[in-house]
Structure 1
Amino acid sequence: MERNNFLKAKNTYLKEALIQQNMRELLFNFLEKKHYKNVLDIGTNQGEFAKLIKEKITFNSFDCLDINHNEEFFLNSEFNFICSDFLAYESCKKYDLIISNACLQWLDFKKAIIKIKKLANDDSVILLSTFCTGNLYQIKDFFNISLDYLSVEKIQNIIKKYFPNSYCFCKDYKLSFKSAIDCFRHLKNTGVTGFARVNLNKQILKDYELKHKNTLSYKCVFIIINPSLNQYS
């Protein structure tokens, strides 16, 4: 899969990214309505999660970081856009709220968690989501195209090492389409696969419909770190 496809799909992403929308809404439900001094959104894209979060909290500063040049989406806003690779990002301040939705699968996950640990306070609230092994398994099976996803167990082990009191859980989503071409159009418009190098034809569309019934399966992992909560629900 090629990350620059994600940039190419920025004009269609918000409309097509139904699963990512559901993911951020789920994370949003774990957020306490209160004041946070410094907030960081990792992989902010067009700020869709940041804008949702802003409606629930107050803050002193809200940094939105993305490797792509998405400054246009943050003009005349309360957000501070930072164009940077997260693993190379350095900050003199600590964040008491760190969020990231459907982004960490693009990074070395362990290095990303170590970086988050470095940027967080001991009592920081951290809300993360990513994808794991089994995500879009139909595409892996049919085209042998896939990111190198970690297993749920591997993700949980890494998180628990650096954040022992974290809560991790997995959730499956399934999308069904009227036709195979609608299925592949969805993938192209969300920019999450390397479909630029796939030449579709009638036979491929027919074979996919027969084998996978025009469906796509998403397998997501959610990570909740909130020291003020004794239990999660």
Structure 2
Amino acid sequence: MERDNQSIEPACIRQRFTRALNSYDRHAVAQQRISAEAAKILSLHLQPFGRCLEIGCGTGGFTRHLQRMLPNADWVLNDLCGESLAIAATHCNHSPQSIIGDAENTELGIGYDLIASTSAFQWFHDPLNFIKKLAGMQTKGGVLLFSTFSPGNLQEVKEAAGKGLSYPSGKQWEEWLAPFYNIEVCREEAIRLTFGSPLEVLRHLKYTGVTATHNGQWTRGMQEDFVRRYKQQFSTDNNQVTLTYRPLYLLAKRL
């Protein structure tokens, strides 16, 4: 099932994240918390993992957690950006195989006991077909662990800007996974950050590559309208503004 409104191309995503490469780790507060929580979930479902794949590894925020838990596994890392892959690989205990490319349309190998990913699945155009692809890559009883985002993610930006991504619900992901996996974890969380102004929110998104959620350039008038609406709707009592991430965590075992 394709998501017609999910029109962001991999080349655009790659360009935005490449531009944010030097600022990402300093500003990706929510993503770091998500990686830590995903690692905690995995730690409760550990089993012998020989061959492992991380999809959308970025600069290695989740990679570091995985390496600490599974130091002797045979790792394959994937990301759109070769520069990010090179950084993530430095966090590995042994030299991993690196695969550059859009995970939906790139050959990633087979025979995986673990496939893991954080904050990447929301970019995929056809989640159901991607789940089918992953199922074909995994061993029986293999673990699929990923985080994505749920409806209401970055809702402040979407309402103030009048546009933004839509996100499948946990129930929808469960329906996609059910023919291939036994679902053991499906849980949502809210991570609320505060900023001094709506412009700081925009800078935060730019520094973490998330500006790929909007195509095209903003005029000065559009930006002024955005700032006004954001302040009106999402100001706190101490004159800050909020930005809410809504991660969704899923862990499933291959049937």
Taking structure 2 as the reference length, the TM-score comes to 0.80
**Mean Cα deviation higher: 62-71 or 192-201:** 192-201
The 8 Å contact of residues 129 and 220 in structure 1, kept in 2 or not, is answered as yes
Note the 1:49-88 alignment, pairs <5 A.
Answer: 49-70=62-83, 71-73=85-87, 74=89, 78=94, 79-88=96-105
CA distance in 2, matches of 1:135, 1:219: 5
Q: For residues 5 and 91 of structure 1, do their structure 2 counterparts lie closer, same or farther at Cα, with a shift above 3 Å needed? A: closer
Are 2:209 and 1:191 equivalent residues in the alignment? yes
Moved more, 193-202 or 39-48: 193-202
- 2:174–2:183 contact (8 Å) kept in structure 1: no
Structure 1 residue 203: deviation in Å? 5.7
User: Structure 1 residue aligned with 2:247, among 210, 213, 220?
Assistant: 220
1-side partners of 2:219 and 2:32: how far apart? 29
Superposed CA offset, 1:3-61 (max 9, x none): 23223212111111111111111111122466521110001111221122101113342
User: Which residue identity lines up with residue 218 of structure 1 in the other structure?
Assistant: Y
The answer as to 2:34 corresponding to 1:14 is no
Cα gap change, 1:145 to 1:202, in 2 (>3 Å):
closer
Stretches of structure 1 that go unaligned for 5 or more consecutive residues are: 228-233
Separation (CA, whole Å) in 1 of partners of 2:226 and 2:166: 24
Indicate if the aligned counterparts of 2:182 and 2:252 stay in contact, CA closer than 8 A. Answer: no
1:140–1:146 CA contact under 8 A, matched in 2:
yes
The residue aligned with 2:157 is: 139
Write the distance in 1 (CA, Å) between the matches of 2:136 and 2:201.
Answer: 40
Q: Could you tell me which residue of structure 2 aligns to residue 231 of structure 1?
A: none
Query: Residues 83-126 of structure 1, C-alpha deviation per residue, up to 9 Å, x if partnerless?
Result: 02212233553111110000000112212211211111111122
Paired amino acid for 2:134: I
Q: Verify the 8 A CA contact 1:174 1:215 in the aligned structure 2.
A: yes
Tell me the SS of whatever aligns to 2:50: strand
Identity %: 24
The residue number in structure 2 matching 1:211 is: 233
Listed as ranges, the gaps of 5+ residues in structure 2 are 1-7, 236-240
CA distance in 2, matches of 1:98, 1:222: 14
Return the alpha-carbon distance in structure 1 between the equivalents of residues 247 and 62 of structure 2. Answer: 16
Output the CA distance in 2 between the equivalents of 1:38 and 1:105.
Answer: 25
Does 2:134 match 1:99?
Answer: no
Question: Counterparts of 2:174 and 2:197 in 1: how far apart (Å)?
Answer: 36
User: Distance in 2 between the 1:76 and 1:44 partners?
Assistant: 11
Give the secondary-structure state (helix, strand or coil) at the position aligned to 1:7.
Answer: helix
Count residues in correspondence. Answer: 227
CA distance in 2, matches of 1:68, 1:147: 22
Counterpart contact for 1:35–1:57, Cα < 8 Å = no
Question: For the residues of structure 1 that align with 2:225 and 2:181, how far apart are their CA atoms?
Answer: 49
User: Is 1:27 aligned to residue 38 of structure 2?
Assistant: yes
User: Distance between the aligned counterparts of 1:65 and 1:92, measured in 2?
Assistant: 11
Superposition deviation, residue 137 in structure 1 = 1.1
2:157, 2:230 within 8 Å by CA — same for their partners in 1?
Answer: no
